[in-house]
Amino acid sequence: MKLVANVLQQEEHGTVYSIHPDDTVYNAIRIMAEFDIGSLVVLEDARVVGMITERHYARNVILRGRSSPTTPIREVMEGRVVYVGPRRTVEECMAVMTEKKIRHLPVMEDGLSGSSPSGIWSGRSSRSRNSSSTS
């Protein structure tokens, strides 16, 4: 079984993009579009305080008639961050994502009180892995 840290390293999914909770949703969407990603880690004082995804934008901004240039991220982000350690297997990560109904999973060595994530595990990561698999 492959460890998520090894897969992230091999497939260059280890880059973690972040944003401050007081920044605007517009800037978050702009960054996601620029880097072709679906989520950002929300950092405050070098600590993970949330996640914002395209889904949060659609459900908490667009469908509620809010304005992305004036809405702060902290008003629409997910504050309960589900994460895994780098020594979890790919299968364990997929099980967590399925159980919690999430698509982006930060990989963190020391949990939320430690350092920033070393990568983000996503459905894209698993598709890349599965498409190159010959089993």
**Domain residue spans of the chain:** 4-131
From first to last of the 135 residues of the chain, give the pLDDT tens digit.
888 888 877 755 567 899 999 999 999 999 999 999 999 999 998 889 999 999 899 999 999 999 999 999 999 999 999 999 889 999 999 999 999 988 888 888 876 666 678 888 886 554 433 333 322
Q: Please name the amino acid found at residue 108.
A: M
Q: Read off the pTM.
A: 0.81
CATH superfamily of 4-131: CBS-domain (3.10.580.10)
Q: 28: number of CA atoms within 13 Å, CB side?
A: 35
Amino acid of residue 87 = R
Q: Which distant-in-sequence residues (6+ apart) come within 8 Å of 43 by Cβ?
A: 18, 19, 20, 49, 116
